[in-house]
Amino acid sequence: MSESLPVRCPACRRSHRFTAPAYPCACGAPVAAPLDPDRVPAAVGHRSWREEWVTVRCGGCGTRGEWPQPELGCPCGTVLRIPVTGERAGAPAAEEPRRPAVPSVPIRTARDAVTAAVLYLRRLGHDGIRRADQRPASGIGLAGRDVLAQLDPSARPATPRDVECLWLTAMTESATCLYLSLTGYTEEAVARADALDVPLFVLEPSGAARPENAPAVALDADAS
């Protein structure tokens, strides 16, 4: 069960009850960051990629992973970063083997979309996901060992040029690639991705990644 503790906003002094969100590990066990009741939450000002994640150990399989830093949005407009302790084991291991659940988080903001994309990349077996060194012409670049992903949160469908740019960048870095879009793809983009063997996914509002072409179906099946 996720931890819960009282939180007071330093800006308006309003009291809240915050419960740490739990995310499914690749093994299927829920993992929640350990909240530190002895430290005071701080208002989020400047954001950095490093501060967006905390390291938590899953009690189900022992894997240490990077998970979203707990945050609370106060009605006054202040966003609070909730302090966490060191690592923490998640839920106890199941007595019987179970099929891993597909990690996902509901998408309400661009940050949620990044979190959902990172969770899915972990589900595919990629760890150490970070911002890509080379920023794509559109969207957000995510990179891990031997993998490059492009997340497109825009309201327009991705085009053949978007797919080709991702494929070319991945080729120069000797990495595999995949494309995740919130809106979808034009027919021409799907045809181009099929020709280049680039997996295309659509991130649904639930945070689940839906395969949109044959390479994506095959990749998703291999990870199940």
Average pLDDT over residues 22-49: 77
User: Across residues 152-164, what is the average pLDDT?
Assistant: 92
Q: In one letter, which amino acid is 77? A: G
For residue 200, pLDDT over 70 is answered with yes
pLDDT of residue 1 exceeding 70, the answer is no
Taking phi over 0 as left and psi of -120 to 50 as alpha, with beta for the rest, 62 belongs to left
pLDDT for the residue 32:
82
Q: What is the pLDDT of residue 47?
A: 61
Query: For residue 62, what pLDDT is reported?
Result: 75
Nearest Cα to Cα of residue 186 among 218, 212, 224: 212
pLDDT score at 25: 72
pLDDT at 156 over 80: yes
pLDDT of residue 201: 96
Q: Please state, in angstroms and rounded to a whole number, the distance separating the CA atoms of residues 89 and 93.
A: 10
pLDDT tens readout for residues 104-151: 678 888 888 898 998 899 888 888 888 888 888 788 999 988 899 999
Please list the residues that pair with 72 across neighbouring strands: 80
Share of the chain above pLDDT 90, in %: 32
39 versus 28: the higher-pLDDT residue is: 39
Angle at 37 between CA 43 and CA 41, to 5 degrees: 5
Coil/strand/helix, residue 165: helix
Q: What's the pLDDT score for residue 96?
A: 36
pLDDT for residue 81: 85
Task: Give the tens place of pLDDT for each residue, 66-105.
Answer: 778 888 888 888 888 888 886 443 443 333 334 344 446 7
- pTM above threshold 0.95: no
Which whole number is the average pLDDT over 46-58? 71
Average pLDDT, the chain: 82
Lowest mean pLDDT among 24-28, 111-115, 180-184: 24-28
Residue position matching structure tokens 């072409």: 213
* Alpha-carbon span 204 to 44, nearest angstrom: 28
